[in-house]
Amino acid sequence: MNYNIALLKGDGIGPEIVESAVRVLEAVGKKYGHTFNFTSYLIGGCAIDATGAPLPEETVAGCLASDSVLLGAVGGPKWDTLPGNLRPEKALLGIRAAMELYTNLRPAKLYSVLKDACPLRADLVEKGFDLLIVRELTGGIYFGERGYRQGKYGEEAYDTEAYSVYEIERIAVAAFDAAMKRNKKVTSIDKANVLESSRLWRKVVHQVAERYPEVTLSDMLVDNAAMQLVRNPAQFDVVVTSNMFGDILSDEASQITGSIGMLPSASLGATGRGLYEPIHGSAPDIAGKNLANPIATVLSAAMMLRYSFGLQKEADAIEQAIDKVLCEGYRTADIAAGAEAVGTVEMTDLIIKALED
C-alpha cells in the first residue's frame, strides 16, 4: 500500500524527532511491503520566520491533501513576545480546526521497566497503569467568544466556555467506542457542581452511555480527578473530558509516567485522516544536541498506522520494538535516572534494529 504523509517538523527538537519517526516508518514499509511518501510543510515559528504567519495556506492545503499528518513541535523563546494571533501555538488550533479534528486521544502508560522514573510512591505504581484520555479538541473555552470589556473593576478580559449537545455527543461516542476495545470503563470528567456547560456535558454523556450497556460509566469532578490521578492512576481506563480539562489532566498524566518524552497523541475527526504528535513541547534548550527522546513521536507514528491506515500488525510491531529496547536497559537522558544514556539517533537505531529482528 502507498500512503502520503504530511510532515510538520516545526521548531526546536521537532525536526529531529520527526526524522526518527520517518526512519522507523521507512523500516516498517520495507518489512511489510508499504510505501510511505513524505512531504514537509512549515508550521509554527519556522513558518513565521519564512512567511510571516504561523500556519501558511500551503501547509493547510498540503495537510488536507495527505492521508495523514505527523507533527513535531512548535514554539520557543524567539517568538514569545509576538501577539497572540501570531504566536506559533496559534497554528495548532488552526490546523486542528482546518482538519476538523475534534477528538484527541492521549494514552498515558507506565512501562513496568520505567516504574523507578515515576514520581509516585512505589506501592502505587508497582503494577504500572495504562489509561487513555479522550479530550474534546475543537470546542469549549479555547474556541469560545473572547475579548476585553469594561467590568465592575474597570478593564477586564473574558473567555467563554460553551458546548453544544452535538459536540458533547460525538466526543462521548469516541470515548465509549475506545472503551469497548479496552476494559469497558469510562470516567467522565466535568465541573457539574459549578458550570452549566458541565451539567449539559454530564447529561449528554449519560444519554450516550445508554447505547453502550457493556461499558461502566462514572462521573468525577475535575478537581477530584486531578487528585485521583496521583493517588491511584490505575483506577482509570478511558477518561473523557472537555478541551481545557483534558489539556491540563493529560499533562498531569504524562508526568506520572516518568517522562513527557514517552507519550504520543492522535487527533481525529470524521474521516480517516488524523494529526499525530508527541505531547511534549519543542524543548529548544536541547535542540540539535542529539538529546531528545524520540519515543513519543515514534509511538505517534504507530498510532497513525493503527487509527488512520488500519495497519494493526505494523503498529504492534513498533510498540513491541520499543518495549524490547527499554527492557534491554537502553534509555535517553530524560528516563536514564542517573544511568548511562543514548542519544536521539542511537535510540532510533535501536528501535529499528529491534523492529527488523
Give me the domains of the chain, ranges plus CATH numbers. 1-103+260-357 (3.40.718.10), 119-256 (3.40.718.10)
Q: State CA 298 to chain mean position distance.
A: 12
Neighbours of 357 (CB within 10 A): 7
Q: What is the mean pLDDT of residues 57-63?
A: 98
The string of DSSP codes covering 192-227 is: TTT-HHHHHHHHHHHHHHTT-TTSEEEEEEHHHHHH
Instruction: Mark whether 191 is an active-site residue.
Output: yes
d(CA 80, CA 249): 24
**DSSP annotation of 303:** H
pLDDT tens track for 178-225: 999 899 999 999 999 999 999 999 999 999 999 999 999 999 999 999
Catalytic residue among 163, 191, 237, 307: 191
Average pLDDT, the chain: 94
Instruction: Mark whether 223 is an active-site residue.
Output: yes
Overall residue count recorded for the chain in this entry: 357
Catalytic residue among 130, 251, 323, 349: 251
Give the pLDDT confidence score for residue 1 in this predicted structure. 87
Catalytic residue among 190, 247, 330, 334: 247
Contact 351, 297 (CB under 8 A): no
Give the pLDDT confidence score for residue 304 in this predicted structure. 97
Instruction: Mark whether 116 is an active-site residue.
Output: no
Give the pLDDT confidence score for residue 112 in this predicted structure. 75
Give the pLDDT confidence score for residue 267 in this predicted structure. 96
Alpha helix positions (H), 256-311: 295-307
- Predicted confidence band at 239 (pLDDT cuts at 50, 70, 90)? very high
Catalytic residue among 223, 313, 316, 353: 223
Catalytic residue among 142, 177, 219, 323: 142
